[in-house]
Amino acid sequence: MIRTQEYNLNFGPQHPSTHGVFRILLTLDGERVVKAEPICGYLHRGVEKLAEARTYTQFIPYTDRLDYLAAMLQNWGYVMAVEKLMGVEVPEKAEYMRVISGELSRLASHLIAIGTYSLDIGAFTGFLLAFRERETTMDLLEELTGSRMTLSYARIGGVAADAPDGWLEKVDKFMDKMPTCIDEYDGLITGNEIFQARTREVGVLKPETAINYSISGPSLRGSGVDYDLRKAKPYGVYDRFDFDVPLGKNGDCFDRFDCRMKEMRQLVRIIKQAIQQIKEIDGPVIGKVPKVIKPPVGDAYAEIETSKGIIGYYVVSDGSPKPYRVHVRRPSFINLGYLDEMLRGYLVADVVAILGSLDIMLGEVDC
Amino acid sequence: MFENLFVGIANGLRSLLGGLPLEINEAIVMLVKLVAILVFILVNALWLVYMERKVAAFVQARIGPNRVGPKGLLQTTADIGKLICKEIIIHKDTDKLVFMLAPMLVFVPTLMVFAVIPFGKNMAAIDMNIGLLYLLAIGSLSTLIFWMAGWASNNKYSLLGGMRSVAQMVSYELPMVLAILGVIMITGSLKMSDIIAAQEHTWFIFSQPIAFLIFFIASVSECNRAPFDLIEAESELVNGFNTEYSGMAFAMFYLAEYANMLVSCAMVTILFLGGWYAPFGLDFIPSWLWFFIKMYVMMFIIMQLRWTYPRIRVDQLMGFGWKVLVPLSLANIFVTGIGMYIYRAIGW
Amino acid sequence: MFGKGLVKGLEITWKEFWSPKTVIQYPEAQNPIPERFHGRFVLDTDKCIVCGMCANACPNKVISLKKQKVGTKQFLTNYVMNIQYCMFCGLCVETCPKDALHFSKVINMNQYFYNNIPLVLVQREAPAEQVEQEKPAAKPTPQLKADALAPTAESEVAASKASDKEGE
C-alpha cells in the first residue's frame, strides 16, 4: 500500500504569476489542489485611513494607487461620491472628458489583463504585443494629464484640464487602429487551440454563485449575468452611447478572458462616439466648486464600473474640510472571495489560469 | 575546395603525425575531433542564446540585445561572465552532492551524443553501426539529471518540475522511437551514414511525413521547449527543476537546454531532412554547410514555436503523448510496413 | 478546428518578425515629452507671493517654505520640496494663484546621496536691511526640514487644522 501525503505549497508572495504580492497557501495532493487559502495584505497601505487626514481634493492622488492600471476610473468613482455629497453639477464637457480618459484607462487595464493572462498561460509574445498598444494609450493619457499611470485627472466638479489641441484627433486615430490590433491578439491568443484547451472548462463560476459572492465586472459577465453599471444604472453620460455588453456562456476562464477581449471592442465604440459628441460641446471642464471643499454633514455612496468590476466609494462628512470616513468597495478583493472553491480539484497550472482570469489588482485588493 | 575542409584538416593532421605508431596517431586525431566538437557545441550554445533572444525580441516588436559587442553579439559571453562571478547558493537542506553533480553532468549526455553525429560527408567523429540506438539511449539520460536537480534541491517547485520531467520523458520517448522505426524499416540500418545515404534522392520528410511530425513534436518535448516546457514552466513553477540554482550552476542548465536543442535539430536533419545532402543539386555549397543550414532552419522553427504558443497543461501533455502520438506512430509503422510490402511485391 | 489556430499564431509571429520595431533606444533616442509632463518643479521666484497655498494643497506635505518680511512684502528665503515623498499629482501647481510653480520636462532627478534628494528651489538670503530673523543654514538637512514644516502654513490654515487625525 502506497502512503500518499498532502503537502502545502506557498504560492507567493514572491511568485511570477500572482500579479503582485499575493499569497495562496495551497494544499496539494500531487499536482491537484485540495484546499487553497488566499492570504492578502502584503500591499496594505491604509488608504482609507489616510483619507481621514487629507482634504477631499488631496485624497484624489491616493485613489490612483488603488488600481494603478486604470487610475482614471478610480478617481472618477471617488469624485462622483464627493459630488453626490455636495450636490455639485458637473459640466457636460467634463463628463465627456471623463468618459474618454476613463475608457482609455479601461483599455490600458484590459490590455494588461489579456497580456498577463497570456503570459500566465505561457505565451510571452501576447504579453508584449498587448503592451505595445498599452504604451500608445499611456502616451495619450500622458499628453492629457501629465502622468502615465497615476493620472489624478478627475477633480471634484470636473476634470483637471481640457484636452490639448489635436489630442482628440490622435485618440480617434488610435481607435481606428485598435480593432486590427485586437484581431491580432485574437489570432495569437484567443484562437490558439492550446490556449483554449488550457482555459475552457477551467474554474467554472456559475451565475448564481457569482451573484451570491457579489462578483462583478468581466468576471461576472463571463458567467452570463448581464450586469454592467454603464448599462444598468448609467452614470455620467453613458446613456448617450450605443454599445453592447459582451457576455460569456459557461463562466469558465476562457469566457472571462473573452469578455475582456470583446469589451475592448465595445470601448473603442464608446470612445469614438464620445469624441464625435464632445466636439459639439463648448464650455468649462470644471463646475462651480468652492475653493475649500466643505461638504455638508452626511454621507454618500457612488459606484462606477471599472475594468475590474464595480468600485464603490462611501464618503462620510462631518462638515469639516476632511472626510470623516472613506470606505472603498474594491472589486478585486470581492472577486477573490470565491477563489478557494474555484481552485479546488484543479491542477497547479490551473491555479495560475484561474487567478489570472479573475484579473485582480493587488493595489486594490489590499487597499 | 571547402567541401573537404574538415576532412582535409583531419587527413593533414594524420599525415603530420605519420611518424608515430598508428594507435597513438589515431588517438590524437580522435582527441582533436572531440575537442573540436566540444568547442562547436559551446560556441553554438552561446550563439543560440543570443539568437533566441533576438528572435524573441523581433517577434515581440523589440530589438533585443544590442549593446555588448557588435550588434550585441557578446551579450551571452558577458552574461556567462557575470554568472561565473556569482555565488552558487546552496541552502542547508539540499542533498549537496547530487545538487552540485547535476549541473556538472548536464552537458555529458549532449557531448556524448555529438560523437556520432555526421556533420558532413565523412564528418562523424565515430560512425558507429548502432549510431541511432546509441543516440537515443544517451539522449534520454538527460532526464535523469533534471530529476537529480529537482530532487536534490529540496524545494517543492523543483520537485514538481523533476516529477514532470520524468513523466514527460517516459511518455515522449516512446512515440519518438516509434516514429524513427519507420525510417529504420526503410533503410534497414541504424548507422547514421546509411540513413543519410538512403535519402540521396528523396528525403524522409516526404516519404514519412507523419513520422517527421511525431518525431519533431517529441523532440521539442524532449528538449523541454515551449509548448512543452512544463519542467521549467516559469509562470507556475517559478523555474521548475532549477529554481534553487544560481550562478554558473544555473548557466549550465541554461546552456545545456540549447545544446539539447542542437542535438534534436541535428537528429531531425539526419533522419528526415537528408542530412548533408544538398537539395535541388545545389552542391557547390559544401555538405557540412548544408547540414548546418538545415539544422538552423529547424532551430528557428523551434524558437518561433516557443514565442508563439502557450504552455500545455501536464495532463494534456500526457494525454497528447499517449492518446495521440503513440497510436499515430504505431499506425505509421503499420502503413510503412504495408507500403514496403507492396513496393517489393510490385518489384521496382 | 485543430491546427488552424496554431498556424494562424505562427503567421502572426512571422509577420511580426519582419515588421518594424516599436522599441526605441533610450539614451540615443527619446520619446517626445508632452507639454503637461509632470517633471522636475520650477519656481518662478519673481511671481511667487509666498502665500503657501502650494504647501497646503500638497497631500503629502512635501513642500516646505520659509519667508521673511521685508518692508511690507513677504520675502521667500527657502523653498524645499522633499521630492522623495512627492506623488507628482500636480495639485500644488494647480492651486498656485500666480502661476509661479511649474512642471518642467526634466525627467532625470536621480541623486547619488539621500541628502541630495530634496529639491531646493529657492535658497537665498533676505535683503540686508532685515536682521531680526536667523537665516537658515546653507544646505538643508533632514532635521532642518522638520523645523521648516512648522511655520509653513500661516496664511491658509483652514484646511490643515485637524491634521493630526491620522494618529487616532
| Number of neighbours of residue A54 by Cβ within 10 angstroms | 23
The predicted structure's pLDDT at residue C23? 84
Taking CB atoms and an 8 Å limit, are A142 and C166 in contact across chains? no
Tell me the C-alpha to C-alpha distance, in Å, between residue A236 and each of A91, A232, A282, B122. 10, 13, 17, 78
Domain that holds residue C74: 32-154
Strand order in the sheet with A32-39: A7-11, A23-29, A32-39
Chain C interface, mutation test: which of A188, A258, A286, most C Cβ atoms within 10 Å?
A188
pLDDT tens, position by position, for chain B (348 residues)? 566 667 777 777 777 776 777 777 778 777 887 788 888 888 888 888 888 888 888 888 888 888 887 888 888 888 888 888 888 888 888 888 888 888 888 888 888 888 788 877 766 667 778 888 888 888 788 888 888 888 888 888 888 888 888 888 888 888 888 888 888 888 888 888 778 877 777 787 777 888 888 888 888 888 888 788 887 877 788 888 888 888 888 888 888 888 888 888 888 888 888 777 777 766 677 777 788 888 888 888 888 888 888 888 888 888 888 888 888 888 888 888 888 888 888 866
Q: Which residues contact residue B29 at a Cβ distance below 8 angstroms, ignoring those fewer than 6 apart? A: B10, B13, B14, B17
Taking CB atoms and an 8 Å limit, are A122 and B311 in contact across chains? yes
Confidence of residue C151 (pLDDT cuts 50, 70, 90): very low
Q: Cβ distance B310 to A192 under 8 Å? A: yes
The structural domain count of chain A equals 1
Residue A2 in domain: no
**What residue in A sits closest to C104 (Cα-Cα)?**
A146
Confidence of residue C152 (pLDDT cuts 50, 70, 90): very low
List chain B domain ranges: 89-346
What CATH code is carried by the domain that includes residue C121? 3.30.70.3270
Residue A116 in domain: yes
Task: Please determine, for residue C3, whether its predicted confidence score (pLDDT) is greater than 80.
Answer: no
Task: Please determine, for residue C158, whether its predicted confidence score (pLDDT) is greater than 80.
Answer: no
The predicted structure's pLDDT at residue C162? 39
The predicted structure's pLDDT at residue C98? 84
Q: Left, alpha or beta for B3 (phi > 0: left; psi -120 to 50: alpha)?
A: alpha
Q: Phi and psi (nearest 5°) for A179?
A: -55, -35
The predicted structure's pLDDT at residue C148? 45
What CATH code is carried by the domain that includes residue A243? 1.10.645.10
**Cα(A361)–Cα(A290) distance, integer angstroms:** 34
Q: Three cell numbers at B334? A: 503499420
| Residues 295-324 of chain B whose Cβ lies under 8 A from any Cβ of chain C | 304-305, 307-309
Q: Cβ distance C155 to C52 under 8 Å? A: yes
A152 touches chain C (CB under 8 A): yes
What is the least distance, in Å, from the CA of B235 to any CA of chain A?
5
Q: Cβ distance B281 to B314 under 8 Å? A: no
What is the least distance, in Å, from the CA of C39 to any CA of chain B?
27
Tell me if the pTM is above 0.90. no
> Look-up: residue for cell 534534436?
B264
The SS3 call for residue C121 is strand
**What average pLDDT does range A154-179 have in this prediction?**
87
Residue B74: exposure state from Cβ atoms within 10 A (0-12, 13-18, ≥19): middle
The structural domain count of chain C equals 1
A318 touches chain C (CB under 8 A): no
Q: Which residues contact residue A159 at a Cβ distance below 8 angstroms, ignoring those fewer than 6 apart? A: A94, A97, A98, A101, A153, A285, A286
Neighbouring chains of C at 3+ CB pairs under 8 Å are A, B
Strands (E), chain A: 7-11, 23-29, 32-39, 154-155, 158-159, 298-305, 310-317, 323-329
User: Mind spelling out the 3-state secondary structure of chain B?
Assistant: CCCCHHHHHHHHHHHHCCCCCHHHHHHHHHHHHHHHHHHHHHHHHHHHHHHHHHHHHHHCCCCCCCCCCHHHCCHHHHHHHHHHHCCCCCCCCCCHHHHHHHHHHCCHHHHHHHCCCCCCCCCCCCCCCCHHHHHHHHHCCHHHHHHHHHHHCCCHHHHHHHHHHHHHHHHHHHHHHHHHHHHHHHHCCCCHHHHHHCCCCCCHHHHCHHHHHHHHHHHHHHCCCCCCCCCCCCCCCCCHHHCCCCHHHHHHHHHHHHHHHHHHHHHHHHHHCCCCCCHHHCCCCCHHHHHHHHHHHHHHHHHHHHCCCCCCCHHHHHHHHHHHHHHHHHHHHHHHHHHHHHHHHHCC
* Residue pLDDT, tens place only, A175-213: 888 888 888 888 888 888 888 888 888 888 888 888 888
Helix B22-59 crosses helix B75-85 at what angle (to 10 degrees)?
100
Task: Go through A320-331 and write b for each residue having 16 or more CB atoms within 10 A of its CB, e for each that does not.
Answer: bbbbeebbbbbb
**Cα(B294)–Cα(B120) distance, integer angstroms:** 12
| Number of neighbours of residue C153 by Cβ within 10 angstroms | 22
* Residue pLDDT, tens place only, C81-123: 888 888 888 888 888 888 888 888 888 888 888 888 888 888 8
Q: Cβ distance C92 to C58 under 8 Å? A: yes
A319 touches chain C (CB under 8 A): no
What ipTM was reported for this prediction? 0.81
Q: Which residues contact residue B297 at a Cβ distance below 8 angstroms, ignoring those fewer than 6 apart? A: none
Helix B326-346 crosses helix B209-222 at what angle (to 10 degrees)?
150
Residue C101: its H or E element? strand C101-103
Taking CB atoms and an 8 Å limit, are C88 and A147 in contact across chains? yes
Q: Left, alpha or beta for B167 (phi > 0: left; psi -120 to 50: alpha)?
A: alpha
The predicted structure's pLDDT at residue C155? 40
Q: How many residues are given for chain B?
A: 348
Q: Three cell numbers at B114? A: 555529438
Residue A1 in domain: no
Taking CB atoms and an 8 Å limit, are C91 and A57 in contact across chains? yes
In sign, the C-alpha dihedral spanning A203, A209, A212, A216 is positive
The predicted structure's pLDDT at residue C79? 86
* Residue pLDDT, tens place only, A232-254: 888 888 888 888 888 888 888 88
Residue A197 in domain: yes
Residue A132 in domain: yes
Taking CB atoms and an 8 Å limit, are C34 and A143 in contact across chains? yes
Helix B287-306 crosses helix B22-59 at what angle (to 10 degrees)?
40
In sign, the C-alpha dihedral spanning A250, A254, A257, A263 is negative
The predicted structure's pLDDT at residue C156? 39
* Residue pLDDT, tens place only, A32-55: 888 888 888 888 888 888 888 888
Residue C162 in domain: no
Q: Cβ distance A115 to A144 under 8 Å? A: no
Taking CB atoms and an 8 Å limit, are C13 and B61 in contact across chains? no
**Cα(C148)–Cα(C79) distance, integer angstroms:** 10
* Residue pLDDT, tens place only, A98-141: 888 888 899 999 998 898 888 888 888 888 888 888 888 988 88
* Residue pLDDT, tens place only, A22-32: 888 888 888 88
* Residue pLDDT, tens place only, C133-142: 555 544 444 4
What is the least distance, in Å, from the CA of A136 to any CA of chain B?
14
Residues of A in contact with C165 (CB under 8 A): 52-53, 322
Task: Please determine, for residue C159, whether its predicted confidence score (pLDDT) is greater than 80.
Answer: no
**Cα(B315)–Cα(A123) distance, integer angstroms:** 18
Return the higher-pLDDT residue of C147 and A360.
A360
Choose among B60, B237, B315: nearest Cβ to A125.
B60
Residue C12 in domain: no
Tell me the C-alpha to C-alpha distance, in Å, between residue B263 and each of A158, A279, B295. 65, 63, 9
Tell me the C-alpha to C-alpha distance, in Å, between residue C139 and each of B265, C78, C83, C152. 65, 11, 15, 18
Taking CB atoms and an 8 Å limit, are B61 and C23 in contact across chains? yes
Q: What is the mean pLDDT of chain C?
A: 74
Task: Please determine, for residue C165, whether its predicted confidence score (pLDDT) is greater than 70.
Answer: no
Taking CB atoms and an 8 Å limit, are B312 and A197 in contact across chains? yes
Q: How many residues are given for chain C?
A: 168
The predicted structure's pLDDT at residue C43? 86
Chain B residues at the A interface, defined by Cβ less than 8 Å, are: 56, 59-62, 156-157, 160, 226-227, 229, 233-238, 307-316
Taking CB atoms and an 8 Å limit, are A349 and B226 in contact across chains? no
The predicted structure's pLDDT at residue B207? 79
